[in-house]
Structure 1
Amino acid sequence: MDIKAEKLNLIEQLARLEDIEIIQQIKELLSSQKEPIAGYKPDGGPITRSELIARARDANKAIKEGRVTSIEDLEKESENW
């Protein structure tokens, strides 16, 4: 089962759950994550806050170094795909 299906399965189980102690344990488990999840990759995998910040820093560095592609160049390149 992929990650999206697993999450949907958990959501369904949580929606039916009536035991407050189990709900509290789940909340504690989620809040004890070492690093908060800031988003998700296209494949459904998590992106942590530090990963997101690192990606932003890398992107800013690439821009400063001129390692960018203009829209025009990208359009020309995409004609050959």
Structure 2
Amino acid sequence: MRTIHDRGMDIKAEKLYLIEQLARLEDIEIIHQIKDILSSQKEPIAGYKPGGGPITRSELVARARDSNKAIKEGRVISIEELEKESENW
């Protein structure tokens, strides 16, 4: 079995490898098994963070709620303030 550590590959490369293998796969039973594994994930992946790691649906919803709360509480800054602040980064 291939692992990230065995080949020194990052997760994107591993995914691409799996996509290539799936594209060639003709065994419907294996395809069903893969679908079962993917659907059995405890929490669905809703997207990916800038670094490539997954973000789950509940994490995304929590971030949206936190953002909405911050807006309602006035904890926001203007684009101009952000640009000025970013000059010090």
Q: Say yes or no: TM over 0.5.
A: yes
Provide structure 2 residue ranges, at least 5 long, that are not aligned to the other structure.
1-8
Q: Identify which of 59, 82, 89 aligns with 1:74.
A: 82
Post-superposition Cα deviations, 1:34-54, rounded to whole Å, max 9, x if no partner, equal 111111111221111100000
Q: Does 1:16 align with 2:7?
A: no
Post-superposition Cα deviations, 1:4-48, rounded to whole Å, max 9, x if no partner, equal 111001001111111111111001111111111111111221111
AA aligned to 1:78 is: S
Q: Does 1:65 align with 2:73?
A: yes
Provide structure 1 residue ranges, at least 5 long, that are not aligned to the other structure.
none
Q: Does 1:30 align with 2:35?
A: no
CA RMSD of superposed structures (Å): 1.2
Deviation at 1:78, TM superposition (A): 2.6
Percent of aligned pairs with the same amino acid = 89
AA aligned to 1:35 is: E
| TM-score normalised per structure 1 | 0.90
Q: Does 1:7 align with 2:15?
A: yes
Compare relative contact order (CA 8 Å, sep 6+) and give the higher one, 1 or 2: 1
AA aligned to 1:3 is: I
Number of equivalences? 81
Distance, in Å, in 2 between the alignment partners of 1:35 and 1:58 is 20
Distance, in Å, in 1 between the alignment partners of 2:32 and 2:47 is 24
